[in-house]
């Protein structure tokens, strides 16, 4: 069968144009569909970053516990372990009820946020994790968890300093005040866009807002309570107080060392790009 070549060529050109049109439509559709997937990927990786790094920081609680248990006398080991477990429970509860909103809600260049319990919003309900600013994508609950373990770390600093100096209940009452009021207020000054932030102050991973706040609180407690019983003799001579288990103290040191990779690394607050990673 003979084919009219001009007609054949016309059909060939038409086929190429049709194929190009279909292919172009597919590419455009793929590009349209890529954006939601990119948004979801950023949401997933940023949320995962908060959780995994938060797990590492929470693991530091075991490090504090082992370090303190190894450096105190045998009769006080159970007290230190109880304090470290209890302070985490209190820190989580107080930061959920009051602290998080006091630190982040409505600070706007001031000295503290909203001191009332409020449900933590979940950005997943808004544009697959976009915040109001439309910039950072993560689950709000994961951010709360990451910030909560920072709060507990500040309380753990106080626990170690006041080892063998304070009874359980007074310490727990202090932890309520520290995690529900003191830490959130000072944290709001920079991380909550408070007055220090407006002045250009920067604290990347909590050297001031976590460690300095915990350190100053611990120093105040040590000054008020004084030295450990048995540390000094009547004539002012120093009596060494050996730890109960240096192996536990060494283990605690390495656990803290590991946890610091989560503490500092997670403070980048994002894992949605090669630059952030």
CATH architecture of 39-268: Orthogonal Bundle (1.10)
Residue 215 exposed, middle or buried by CB count within 10 Å (0-12, 13-18, 19+)? middle
CA distances from 249 to 32, 80, 82, 190, 228 (A): 56, 13, 17, 34, 19
Sequence-distant (≥ 6) Cβ neighbours of residue 198 within 8 angstroms: 109
For residue 237 the two structure tokens come to: 């001579």
**End-to-end Cα, the chain, rounded Å:** 65
Cα–Cα distances in Å, from 40 out to 35, 47, 104, 206, 254? Answer: 9, 10, 25, 29, 36
pLDDT of residue 137: 76
Nearest to 158 by CA among 224, 99, 106: 224
Q: What is the pLDDT of residue 30?
A: 44
| pLDDT at residue 55, rounded to an integer | 96
| Chain segment 70-117, per-residue pLDDT in tens | 999 999 999 999 999 999 999 999 999 988 989 988 788 778 888 776
125 DSSP 8-state letter: G
Count of CB atoms within 10 A of residue 117's CB?
A: 11
Q: What is the pLDDT of residue 270?
A: 84
The structural domains of the chain, with segments of one domain joined by +, span 39-268
Residues of the chain with pLDDT under 70: 1-37, 117-136
Check residue 105 and report its DSSP letter: T
DSSP 123: G
């Amino acid at each position: 069968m003979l084919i009219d070549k001009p007609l054949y060529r016309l059909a060939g050109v038409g086929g190429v144009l049709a194929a190009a049109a279909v292919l172009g439509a597919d590419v455009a559709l793929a590009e349209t569909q890529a954006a939601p997937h990119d948004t979801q990927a950023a949401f997933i990786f940023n949320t995962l970053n908060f959780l995994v790094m938060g797990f590492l920081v929470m693991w530091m609680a075991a490090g504090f516990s082992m370090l303190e248990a190894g450096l105190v006398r045998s009769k006080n080991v159970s007290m230190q372990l109880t304090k470290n477990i209890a302070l985490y429970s209190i820190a989580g509860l107080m930061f959920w009820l009051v602290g998080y909103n006091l630190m982040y809600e409505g600070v706007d260049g001031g000295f503290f946020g909203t001191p009332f319990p409020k449900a933590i919003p979940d950005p997943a309900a808004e544009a697959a994790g976009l915040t109001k600013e439309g910039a950072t994508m993560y689950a709000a609950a994961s951010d709360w968890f990451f910030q909560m373990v920072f709060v507990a770390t500040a309380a753990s600093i106080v626990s170690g300093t006041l080892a063998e100096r304070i009874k359980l209940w007074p310490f727990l009452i202090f932890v309520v005040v520290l995690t529900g009021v003191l830490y959130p207020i000072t944290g709001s000054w920079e991380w909550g866009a408070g007055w220090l932030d407006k002045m250009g102050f920067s604290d990347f991973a909590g050297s001031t807002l976590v460690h300095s706040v915990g350190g100053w609180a611990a120093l105040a407690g040590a000054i008020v309570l004084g030295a450990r019983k048995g540390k000094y003799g009547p004539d002012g001579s120093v009596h060494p107080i050996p730890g109960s288990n240096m192996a536990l103290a060494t283990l605690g040191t390495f656990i803290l060392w590991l946890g610091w990779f989560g503490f500092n690394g997670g403070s980048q607050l994002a894992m949605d790009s090669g630059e952030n990673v």
